[in-house]
Chains A and B, each alone.
Chain A
Amino acid sequence: MYRYDNYDQQMLQDRIAQFRDQTRRFLAGELESSQFQPLRLQNGLYIQRLAPMLRVAIPYGCLSSRQLRKLAHIARFYDKGYGHFSTRQNIQFNWPKLPEVPDILAELAEVEMHAIQTSGNCIRNTTTDQFAGVAPREIEDSRPWCEIIRQWSTFHPEFAHLPRKFKIAVCGTEQDQAATQVHDIGLYLTRNFTGDLGFQVLVGGGLGRTPVIGQVIREFLPWQHLLTYLDAILRVYNREGRRDNKYKARIKILVKELGIDAFRDRVEAAWDQGRDGPATLTEDEVRRCRRFFTDPPYESLPDHDAAVTATLATDVRFTNWYDRNVRQHKRPGYRIVTLCLKATGSAPGDLSAEQMDFVAELADRYSFAELRVTHEQNLVLTDVRLQDLPTLHAALLREQLATPYTGLLNDMIACPGGDFCSLANAKSIPIAEAIQRRFDDVETQKTIGEITLNISGCMNACGHHHVGNIGILGVDKKGEEFYQVTLGGSSDRKAALGKVLGPSFAQKDMPDVIDKILQVYLARRTADERFIDTYQRIGIEPFQEHVYAATH
């Protein structure tokens, strides 16, 4: 993992002092509320329905056990004993008290964490695939590049007051679990025909009110030019992005209005300025950042284990968990383990302080004291020895962390929704729970197979509903909460936006509606078809016919 040096630490201390003073001035009435708002937002602090909400960055999803213990402490001491992992590799605390927030930030700084730019109209936490560095057949480890971008984007003076928020994702794996194509900038690590490393650059993707898949602005950007090119894109956006209407202020609207070719011309013109200038990356800097992400001291192990094989033959619970939550690792004898935070009855992505401490302990014991946070709101132990899986599983069972549903229906994404968020039109958590209850059975989950179900409580789309195979969006109809369903979304390398099924549904009908959608899929699928494959083959009409035939 990246470790701070004196410069990084100094900047964090300066930031805390700055925010402490801003908070003091606000509480003393010296700083108007409208002036304090953007300042607190750039420190991740929202004023929510019930209390402030503090969003803490987990840069590109990398977390140490020490940091997780600190988060547990914060949850316990300053909050109500739990935290919520969001879809953007952040953790949110829902009950901090404003005067205590500077103290929380100081505690976070002790473990090299912060809430910088987790909100507001600035460059947000850079995200990546949770399997970076351990996935087999990886193109390139994205983490050093994320760290380079983290540093470039932190307190970038030119881009602190953009027209709107700005999100960057980097992906170096084959599969792309970072939803790269629905980010303001998506960067795919790639090699050109001579084997040189660089990025395919996408721009103008995003969800929210106007969902758009990003377009390629540059097929191959040599790595040296990463920061000067990002500067150029951001400068064009900062100067030309719309500021008259916040719903049209994201870069996707600018790219759409200009067209990708005209936008590219402007970026190239801006790039002429900084290209080959001092912000050009050096071999030394890349080497320095890569040093933080070298392999842990792996043992030489065979890629099979007799005890595990025996357990697989006899223990159904273990087998179910192994099939869904354990993945191939780049090293023989190691596996990647996902802790699915979707136990029925607890909000997706929520983790109690006790569970955090427990997971930190597991990371220490089984995974070189490191873990990852995923955009699907789960946790990952990246480097577990195959032989340790049965004992790890037994331990997870005790803390309700062995939910064997990774990648299945109940592994759904949901934003905090109307229970917490003041933007939401409708609740998300009760919908998630009702659906989870209906289908909470291993055999049912396995029968349905791989599927993504994403729930957002409003069109800001924090639950990424547009890119769920099944998407659910909370809408307000004359003061009542209704839910619109979309089908066919996907956020991998073949990203697609879901199509609206039809008129929205009442909350109580949602489990039935999902059931009917699944009935169509199960009746029409061919042998190995996943939900998304069947949908793409048969289209939306059969689903519409069945769902609406029965309700009207």
Chain B
Amino acid sequence: MPQLIDVLGNPVENPWLSLAKDATLEQVRQSSDKLVLLPLPLWLAEKAALLATGKTFGVWLDSDQTCELLTGDLGLLPLVALNFPTFMDGRHYSSAVVLRQQMQYDGDIRAIGDVLRDQLFFMKRCGFSSFLLKDSVKLEDAQRGLRDFATSYQSTVEQPEPLFRRRA
């Protein structure tokens, strides 16, 4: 099982059933899980039927799916997961920023997929709040990765005041 950690690096339970890109409404209905992480197409196609199941949903976006597709839905979703097919695909850093700053999303934004230790610090600064680590990543390494730098220059989700407004 891949390790899930929170923004401070603490290991946390992962109660979410995660469904693949081609998942169907039937799968959701048949599962006994109460918390289900859905692929975007299923959520968009079957919103009403899904909500009628009484379960709680999150949605995961692939790197070519934009977070604006969830406009109006975010209040229903305590979790949005952003998938990194490869850690070099940086689109979801912007998705996280847009979700937080533009769409005012205050639920959990989770990095999933090719989530390695050397990117965690940047993800955290862009507003990611949990990280599903790739199997190869050791917990202590990830915790260190979250603290790679003591300070940063830019205005970010995590620290909106840029360094130039904070310099002593």
Contacts and interface: CB of A to CB of B under 8 A. Distances in A.
Interface of A: 5, 7, 10-11, 14-15, 18, 22, 35, 38-39, 121, 148, 151-152, 154-162, 227, 235, 238-239, 243, 273-274, 277-279, 281-282, 284-285, 288
* Interchain residue pairs A-B with the least CB separation, the first 5: A161-B90, A157-B122, A279-B155, A157-B125, A285-B164
Contact of A159 (B66, B90, B149, B150): B90
A10 B151 contact: yes
12 contacts: A7-B163, A35-B118, A39-B118, A121-B88, A151-B153, A154-B153, A158-B90, A162-B90, A227-B155, A239-B66, A239-B94, A277-B160
A274 B154 CA distance: 12
B94 A157 contact: no
Interface in B86-122: 87-91, 93-95, 97-98, 101-102, 116, 118-119, 121-122
Contacts of A162: 90
B126 A157 contact: yes
A146 to B, nearest CB: 14
Contact of B97 (A11, A154, A235, A285): A235
Contacts of A38: 87-88
Interface of B is mostly: loop
Contacts of B66: 239
Contacts, number: 109
Interface residues of B, number: 37
Interface in B67-97: 87-91, 93-95, 97
A490 to B, nearest CB: 34
A161 B97 contact: no
A278 B102 contact: no
A113 B149 CA distance: 18
Given A35-B87, A39-B118, A278 B155 contact: yes
A238 B93 contact: yes
Given A10-B150, A11-B149, A157 B116 contact: no
A35 B149 contact: no
B162 interface: yes
Given A39-B118, A238-B90, A239-B66, A11 B154 contact: no
A160 B153 contact: no
A160 B95 CA distance: 14
B149 to A, nearest CB: 5
A152 B122 contact: no
A157 B163 contact: no
Contact of B152 (A11, A18, A227): A11
Given A38-B88, A155-B149, A282 B94 contact: no
Given A235-B97, A238-B91, A282-B165, A157 B155 contact: no
Contacts of B95: 239
Given A121-B88, A278-B161, A160 B122 contact: yes
Contact of B116 (A35, A159, A288): A35
A277 B102 CA distance: 12
A160 B154 CA distance: 13
Given A278-B162, A288-B167, 7 more contacts: A11-B150, A18-B148, A38-B87, A151-B164, A158-B94, A238-B93, A243-B89
A284 B66 CA distance: 37
B116 A151 contact: no
Contacts of A35: 87, 116, 118
